[in-house]
Structure 1
Amino acid sequence: MKEVRRTTLPVVEMAKSNEEFRQVLWTGDHTQLVLMAIPEGGEIGGEVHEGHDQLLYFVSGEGEATIGETKVPVKAGDVSIVPSGTFHNFRNTGNGMFKLYTTYCPPEHAPGNEHETKQEADAAE
């Protein structure tokens, strides 16, 4: 899917139907919207974004959020907030895909970036 230019999107439905590990949906000057799908037993991978706040909105499945020293279960309807400079990781602990959309402020990934799998995303970075 090419990056969209519309300003109103059915993002929950788009996130639920997304099957790619990472899909950059929209990039502005100060914010970015990204869809993610994490397979059973998979994870985003531990990371720290310097200079980028991140919010993650979970739409289906179950997982575990590690933010700093805190680990908590997360599920559809939950939001995780990751301040700039904070270690974080998100794991799929349920059955089926763990799906979410996330915002980066400012943008983190190249506009239109798509990675079908975590391995593909890791290789590109």
Structure 2
Amino acid sequence: MNSENDSRPKTEPEVLYVPKGEGIALWVPEEPPADLVDGEGPEMSTYTFLATADNTDGALAVVDTVVPPGNGPPEHMHHDADESFYVLDGEFEVRAGGKSFVLGPGDYAFVPRGTKHIWKNRGTETARMIRVYTPGGHERFFIEISRPAQAATPAPRLTTEDVRRAEAAVTRFYG
């Protein structure tokens, strides 16, 4: 986004099309178990960013989120973005703003910025949802904490190195 004092030419947002199977695919560590053992940790979640701040002129980020059973982030808060959830498959438990609810296929939830929240795949099968961050930019955090996903390869198990990388990124991004 350009300010009045910015000498760069202003750009107009462009139409974005992302074919199925494309996007920025990442293996993302979720909340680690207290007794994490390398090679025995939970399977990592797969986040595929379909839209980012870079290709939406900062407007939003959209991520197709595939989450193994029991996975989800620790309780957290975004000061810089609202987060929306739309479930495609499975069930997710969401706690936010003093409310707790279960989202199933077709359900939607909105969590405004500045609200502590947590979400988890509460089922016994892999679940999938679309998440939207407004504005975009939060994807940079996930790119830093993740590993690039390899097509047609199962997600790896969480390791202590994944946890260290995520903790370092949390410090850099959120202090």
Task: Give structure 1 stretches of 5+ with no counterpart.
Answer: none
Cα pair distance change 1:86/1:35, threshold 3 Å: same
Q: Is contact 1:58-1:77 (8 Å) kept?
A: yes
Write the distance in 2 (CA, Å) between the matches of 1:21 and 1:122: 19
Q: Give the corresponding residue for 1:7.
A: 16
Structure whose CA Rg is larger: 2
Richer in strand (by share): 1
Moved over 6 A (4+): none
> Aligned pair 1:106/2:161, yes or no?
no
Asked if residue 41 in structure 1 is aligned to residue 38 in structure 2, the reply is no
SS at match of 2:165: helix
Structure 1 position 89, deviation (Å): 0.9
Paired positions, count? 117
One-letter code aligned to 2:115: T
TM-score w.r.t. length of structure 2: 0.55
Cα drift, residue 94 of structure 1? 1.0
- AA at the equivalent of 1:83: P
Report the equivalent of 1:26: 51
Question: What TM-score results when the alignment is normalised by the length of structure 1?
Answer: 0.75
Distance 1:23 1:118, change over 3 A: farther
Q: Secondary structure at the match of 1:110?
A: helix
Where does the alignment leave 5 or more consecutive residues of structure 2 unmatched? 1-13, 28-44, 148-154, 170-175
| Amino acid paired to 1:123 | R
Task: Find out whether 1:123 has 2:165 as its counterpart.
Answer: yes
Identity %: 21
CA contact (8 A) 1:21 1:118 kept: no
Instruction: Give the residue type in structure 2 aligned to 1:41.
Output: G
1:39 Cα deviation from its structure 2 partner: 0.9
Comparing both chains, which one has the higher relative contact order based on Cα–Cα distances under 8 Å and sequence gaps of 6 or more? 1
Q: How much does 1:35 deviate?
A: 1.6
